[in-house]
Amino acid sequence: MSRPDASAARAGSAAPHDERGAAFAEPWQAQAFALAVSLSAAGHFTWAEWAAALVAELERAERNGAPRDGSTYYEHWLATLERLVAEKGLAAEPELRERREAWAEAHRRAPHGHPAELARHGV
């Protein structure tokens, strides 16, 4: 998998893409990408800090037997994002766990072929 063009996302242009088209297989991947870019732009962490954390996550995953075919890349991107958000005190682990559980439930409730949506009760 080619690396997404982060400069396009930072510039607010079209979604990152490579020679084959869109860099994201699922909307959540684009959202995780955009959130990391936005948090970095807001000064919560530098892009170099982000890159180092992502490399550490990918190396950890590889040691634990994760496939090296790019199929789980954005899962590791999300894990890195969650780790940095917790380390920076932007959200506590219980809050992150609650949000993960809410999204899992939303996916279970969503009709096949429809996007998962969180209930609008303060989440």
Q: pLDDT of 4-53, one tens digit each?
A: 444 333 333 345 566 777 788 888 898 899 999 999 999 999 999 999 99
User: Would you say residue 119 lies in a domain?
Assistant: no
User: Would you say residue 6 lies in a domain?
Assistant: no
User: Would you say residue 19 lies in a domain?
Assistant: no
User: Would you say residue 101 lies in a domain?
Assistant: yes
Tell me the residue range of the domain where 54 lies. 27-109
The alpha-helical segments, DSSP class H, found in 42-114 are: 47-63, 73-87, 93-109
User: Would you say residue 93 lies in a domain?
Assistant: yes
Classify the phi-psi angles of 77: left when phi > 0, otherwise alpha if psi is within -120 to 50, otherwise beta: alpha
User: Residue 17: what pLDDT?
Assistant: 62
Q: What is the pTM of this model?
A: 0.68
User: Residue 5: what pLDDT?
Assistant: 40
Measured CA to CA, the distance from residue 46 to residue 42 in angstroms comes to 9
Whether residue 2 is predicted with pLDDT greater than 90 in this model: the reply is no
Question: What would the pLDDT profile of 88-111 be if each residue is shown by its tens digit?
Answer: 999 988 888 898 888 888 878 888
User: Would you say residue 100 lies in a domain?
Assistant: yes
Contact call for residues 60 and 54 (beta carbons, < 8 A): no
User: Residue 123: what pLDDT?
Assistant: 44
Using pLDDT thresholds of 50, 70 and 90, give the confidence band for residue 63.
very high
User: Would you say residue 67 lies in a domain?
Assistant: yes
Q: Find the mean pLDDT for residues 71-93.
A: 92
Q: Find the mean pLDDT for residues 68-86.
A: 92
Measured CA to CA, the distance from residue 95 to residue 89 in angstroms comes to 11
User: Would you say residue 118 lies in a domain?
Assistant: no
User: Residue 16: what pLDDT?
Assistant: 58
The count of domains in the chain is 1
